[in-house]
Structure 1
Amino acid sequence: MKKLMFLLSAVFVFTACSEDDHSENDNQPRDTAEVVGKRGCATDEVFKAQLAADPTLAARIQQIEEHASKFDLSNARLVNGQIVIPVVVNVLYRTTAENISDAQIQSQIDVLNKDFNAQNTDFASVPSVFSGVKANVGIRFELDQVRRKYVNRTSWGTNNLMKGSTGLTALTPTTKMNLWVCTIGNGILGYAQFPGGASSTDGVVVDSKYLGTTGTATYPFNLGRTATHEVGHWLNLRHIWGDATCGTDLVADTPTHNTANYGVPTYPHYSTCTGTPIEMTMNYMDYSDDRGLYMFTNGQKSRMLSLFSSGGARYSFAQ
C-alpha cells in the first residue's frame, strides 16, 4: 500500500523534453490526418511547465494534496447524492472532419456518465482481485453548450493556445468544465489541467479524432476513454505509474506499476516493483487502449470527491 504523500521534489525541477516536447513547434504545420497507435497524454509535461512558470503553484498543489489526504469519504456531502458538472465543449476546426457533430459530442458525455457511475458494461470485467476496491464515483456530467470556431490552423500543440483569443477562451471555469476539441498533433490524444492552476486555462483538451464513440472517433481510441482519462486528471488523479518507474499516484489502493501499459495487456500482468503486484492495467489512469480501460478505485474516488468538499479546490462546483 502506498502512502498518500506528495513528492514535490519530483516536480520542482523542470527540464525541456527532447522528442516528446510539444511546445517548441506549436506553429509548425502538421498532418491533421495523423493517427496514433499508442496513447499519449501530455498532462504531466504541461503540469511541470506550469510549475516552472508559476512559483506560487507548488504551494497551492501542496494544500490540495493535504486536503485530499485528510478527506474522509464516509463524510462526503454530495448535492442530491452526486456532483453534477456542466460541460462547455469548445470545438476548434479547420476541416469538416474537425468540426465534429453534436451526436459525437453527446456520445462522449454519455461515456463520461457511464464511466464515472460504474454503468459501463465492461465494469463487470473487473478482476476479482480488484473487486473490493472498484468504485462508483458518483459524478455526473451535463452538456451545457457547444461553441464552435473556424480557425485556419492545422494543429495546436500543448501550450494552451486553443484556450486563448486565437481559439476559444474558457467560459465560467469556476462552475463549468471546459472541454476543448481540436487537433493537438505530435501523437497527443489529450491533456488536462490539475486543480490549482489558472482559471483561464482550466479544463480538458481532447483531439477530435479520439472523442466519443462515433464520427471521427478512431480505433483503438474510439470508446471515449481518452476524455475519461483526462477528466480524471482534471479531478486530480495522476497516472497510475506516477510518471516514474515504480512511482506513486498518491492513491493507496492502486498497485505500484513499473510504467505505462499499452494495448490490452493479458491479465494478470505482474509488476517487477516491490511485492510484484498484479498491475491494474484496466484502470482509467493507465495507458491501455480504450477497450482495456474500465475502472476507478475507491481511493481515486476519495481523491476526486475531496475537491468538492468544503475547502476543496473545486468546491464551487458543488454549490
Structure 2
Amino acid sequence: MKKVFLGMAAMAFLFASCEQDPTENSVDQEVAQVDMSDFYLYTDAEADGKKTEDDKTKCYSMRNLNRLLNENPGLHKKMYDVEQNTRSILAKSTNGKGKPGSGGGGTTEPPVGDNLGIVNIPVVVHVIYSNSQQNISDAQINSQISVLNEDFRASNNDAGNVPSEFAGLVADSEISFTLAGVNRYSDSRSEWGTSDAMKYAYPPTSPSNTLNIWICNIGGGILGYAQFPGGPASTDGVVISPQYFGTTGYVSAPFNKGRTATHEVGHYLNLRHIWGDGRCRQDDFVADTPSSDGPNYSCPSYPTVNCRSTDMTMNYMDYTNDACMYMFSEGQKARMRTVFANGGPRTGFVN
C-alpha cells in the first residue's frame, strides 16, 4: 500500500509539473539566457574625475556611484537586477539577435518600438543659494527645460551637425519634460560637495514619479552628478552647479548651453558614459556607440579615432563642450526607455 501511495504521489507531482504555467517557465528561461558577463559597476574614479583643460570636472556620477556602492551593501544586487531586466527587454525587442551591450558600432539590429508613447517627466527644481547669483531666475530654469525637451526629442538646432557616419543613428527618445515646481532655499553654506548633503537638507519631491534637480554650488570645479536607477529614493535625482544650468542668466562658457543637465539626466535614465568608463574593452552597454578608450574634451575634430573606430564625440554622454555635443543614439534611446517598462525602476512615470 505504501508503494502504491508513493507511486500515486509521484504521478501527481509529475502531472502538476506538466501543468505549470508555461509563461512562468518562459520568463525564467529568458532571464537565465541574458548575458551578464560584461556587467560592471565600480569604475576607475580617478579616470572618471579627470578635469578638462579649464580645470572643470564635467561629471561626478561614477564617483558618486562608487560611494553609494560602498555605503549600501544591497545596491549592487538592485542595479544588477535593473540591468538584467533592461537586457531582457532589449533581447525581446531584437528577437534575441546580438547582445544589448556588445559595443563596437551597430552589431545588433535596431530595437523595435515599444508601446509607451511619449513619456513625460515632471521636474521639480530645488534652488539652494548663498548669494543672489546662485538664486537663478525662472528664465534660466525655463531655458534648461527647453534644452532638455529639444535634446531628448532630437529637435535641437545643432542636430544637423552630426556627421553622415552617425546621422542615421540620431534618436528622438520620445521623452519630454515639464516643469512641475521650483523651490528656493537661502542657505549660508557656500559649497555642498558630492555626498548628497543638499538632498538630506532639502529632500526630494515624490521621487518615484518626479525628477528632482538640485541647483547649488557643488564646489571643486564639478559641473554636476546624477544617481543611477536603483539607488536610494531619498537621494534620487540630479545635482548641477548653477552656472552650468540653462542657457541664459548666470551661466559660464563653454558649458552654457544646458548640456550638463542633458548628460546627467542621461545617467538618471541609466546611460553610461560613451567610453564605458574604461579602456577599449569596457562597454557602455549600448550596441551602436563605438568603443573608445576614454573621454573626449573641448571640441575634437572629426574623425577622432580610438579603438580602431571613430569616436561618437558629439554624443551627449561624452565630455566635450556643450556646443559640440548634439545627439543620443537609437541604442541609447532603447536603453533609456526600458527603465519605464514593466519591471523597470522608473515605471512611476507611466503608471
Name the residue aligned to 1:29. none
- Which one of 296, 302, 307 corresponds to residue 267 of structure 1? 302
Name the residue aligned to 1:256. 291
2:314 corresponds to 1:282: yes
What are structure 1's unaligned runs of at least 5 residues? Answer: 22-34
After TM superposition, list the pairs within 5 Å mapping 1:15-164 onto structure 2.
36-71=54-89, 72=93, 73-78=111-116, 81-164=117-200
Q: Give me the CA root mean square deviation.
A: 2.1
Deviations 1:171-194 (A, max 9, x none): 100010000000001111000000
Identical aligned pairs, as a percentage?
46
The whole-number CA distance in structure 1 between the counterparts of 2:47 and 2:273 is 21
SS of structure 1 residue aligned to 2:342:
coil
Which structure: larger Rg? 2
The whole-number CA distance in structure 1 between the counterparts of 2:236 and 2:324 is 28
2:341 corresponds to 1:309: yes
Aligned residues of 1:195 and 1:234 also touching (Cα < 8 A): yes
Deviations 1:111-142 (A, max 9, x none): 00000000001111111111222211010000
- The structure showing larger relative contact order (alpha-carbon pairs under 8 Å, at least 6 residues apart) is 1
The whole-number CA distance in structure 1 between the counterparts of 2:137 and 2:41 is 41
Q: CA deviation at 1:70?
A: 2.0
Number of positions where the alignment pairs a residue of Structure 1 with one of Structure 2: 295
SS of structure 2 residue aligned to 1:227:
helix
Name the residue aligned to 1:32. none
Aligned residues of 2:45 and 2:62 also touching (Cα < 8 A): no
SS of structure 2 residue aligned to 1:89:
strand
In 2 relative to 1, CA 206–291 (structure 1 residues): closer, same or farther, beyond 3 Å? Answer: same
Compare the two structures and name the one with the higher helix fraction.
Answer: 2
SS of structure 2 residue aligned to 1:164:
helix
Q: CA deviation at 1:74?
A: 2.4
User: What letter corresponds to residue 207 of structure 2 in structure 1?
Assistant: P
Aligned residues of 1:38 and 1:263 also touching (Cα < 8 A): no
What are structure 2's unaligned runs of at least 5 residues? Answer: 1-33, 94-110
Q: CA deviation at 1:7?
A: 3.9
TM-score in terms of structure 2 length: 0.80
Name the residue aligned to 2:264. 230
Aligned residues of 2:297 and 2:321 also touching (Cα < 8 A): yes
